[in-house]
Amino acid sequence: MDAPTFPRRGGGSSFAESSRSRIAIDDGVLASRSLLVLDLAVDDHTTRRRRPFSIATSWFETWLLRDTEWDWTNLMFEEYARLSKKGVEEFAHVAVDDPDLSGLRDSGGELLFSHGSDDQAISSQGSRQCFDRVLEQIGGVSATNEFARFFLCPGDGHSARIQEGFGVDLGTGMIAMMNWVENRIAPDTLDALHYADDSTTVDGVRSITAYGTQLVTS
C-alpha cells in the first residue's frame, strides 16, 4: 500500500507526523487521536486504501467552504486553524454549549437525551461535561431532573450496539418522552435491550438510570 498524503505544516512536516498520536488497528479500522481520524477501506475485496474520517472532512467541505471539490490532502495547519476560527464565528448562533436551560424549564418543556458511552465517532464525555454544566447552572440533580434528564448508555455505540451488547432503541426513548409529556410521568430509567441472534427477539433487559443518580442497574 502506498504511503498516504497528509495535510502538512508550513515547515513541511506532515499532519499525521506532527500529531504524535497513538494509532491502533482493530478489525480493519485505523483509529487515531489526531485531528483527522483515518480508517481503512477495502476496494474490490483486495486493495486497502486510507481515507479521512468522513464527518471531519464533510464539516470543512459542506459547511465551511461549501465546495464539493475541496481536496483535504492540501490542508495545512495554518489553514486548519483559520477554518476552525471561521467555524466558531459563523456558527456561534447555533452552538449548543449554553448550559442555561431556564428558558426551556420556564416554558414548560422537557428534555430527554442519551449518549452511548461506547460511541466510536462522537465522545460521550462531551455530553457528560455538557450536562454537568447544566446541573451546575440549574442548581443540582433534583432541580434539573424536573424538566431535563440525561442517560449515559453503556453498550451503545454510534447508532449501533458494540459487539451486540445492550442498547437503548429509539422507540424506547420516544415512548419515555411521550409518557413524560402526555402523562407527566418522568422516566427514572430507560430499558437497554439485548437481542437474540435473530435480531428481533429480546432476550435480555438492563435498566439504565438517569445521570447523576446511579450508573447502571441490572
Stated pTM of the model = 0.67
- 107 shares its domain with 188: yes
CB 151 within 8 Å of CB 140: no
| Positive or negative torsion for Cα 134, 97, 93, 174 | negative
Q: Encode pLDDT of 7-64 as tens digits.
A: 444 454 444 444 433 333 333 333 333 344 444 444 555 555 566 777 778 888 898 8
Give 140's pLDDT tier (boundaries 50, 70, 90): very high
Query: Which residues constitute the domain of residue 28?
Result: 15-92
Residues 107, 35: one domain? no
Assess whether 204 and 111 both reside in one domain: yes
For residue 177, the 8-state DSSP code is H
Statement to judge: residues 60 and 144 lie in one domain: no
Rounded Cα distance, 66 and 99, in Å: 30
pLDDT digits (tens, 9 = 90+) for 89-105: 888 888 777 899 999 99
Q: Count the domains in the chain.
A: 2
Looking at the chain, the number of H-run helices and the number of E-run strands are 7, 9
9 part of a folded domain: no
**What's the pLDDT at 24?**
35
